[in-house]
Structure 1
């Protein structure tokens, strides 16, 4: 059983990760929830079981096998550093950090420890992205055009350059990643295994 904790218990955690996949996995136990908005952590604990943690330190001390970081990018650093220090593998919503030097330092610390991590550029794995790749590689398509419509209002922090990098980081980087994916890998990654 994989003991999983969440740092950030809002819509991204619930609708993006817990509801569509994690709560349906038999070998995953949601054991700890931490959010600066205690009510959000309490709601997750009531819905999915697990403990409400009152601090990041308390969550790290829960004996987790892995954690999800689903908080605004300007708050990633302390959560990432705490998990790295505790040697807890984690998934972090993109980007790893808003400051390039800090991101590079964190990446080096992660690599030095051989820690399993993932950054939330998951659109590249969607079936549609795979079909686009196949069409481009077979030369069935020579010109592409895409647009994005967001049907719900963006969260306040999504619009703030200081807190999240603004819409360029929050949305455009997903589409940049998807646009580059069909032409081959330009990023460093290793596929995850389920062993």
Structure 2
């Protein structure tokens, strides 16, 4: 069951503390442009950011545009990302989306969610990450960390990722929307962990509605 929901004033205080601790939170996937960001996020499904970064450093040095990726070819791409889970299917998707970007978008990554999700291997979450990180739209990409934090704390409770996404958009004050995604994901990754949250060192411990706080 979702946690009880925080009040507007509680949520405002939570994000004021997040902002004070980290005014400009950054995503951890390495990229150089919109295209490499799309590829990195698509590769990160069921994989760690660290693992993706390790694989893509050499890849992006060779192929940082859709045309260069096509020139590298499927075998060349596969060789670079073979340490990432589901690499064969991901490689096929990257080649397909690169072809579509060249043929239909003149090699430019589109800035609308509908256009982004038309690309193979790019779902709503991936599109929202790209819209938020590159195009600076206040889009909310809900992953397992954000889903957990939203429900556990009461910031954005919801039964599924779509409900949590709507709760973030509806409940978090506008001034915090741009960085809400990163504050929540970093909090979930390093403090509000799945198995044993670090409640003793949590900066929102006194506000969080999670009843089973760890010592």
The structure that is helix-richer by fraction is 2
**Higher relative contact order, structure no. (Cα contacts within 8 Å, ≥ 6 residues apart):** 2
Q: Tell me whether the two structures share a fold, i.e. TM-score over 0.5.
A: no
> Which has the larger strand fraction?
1
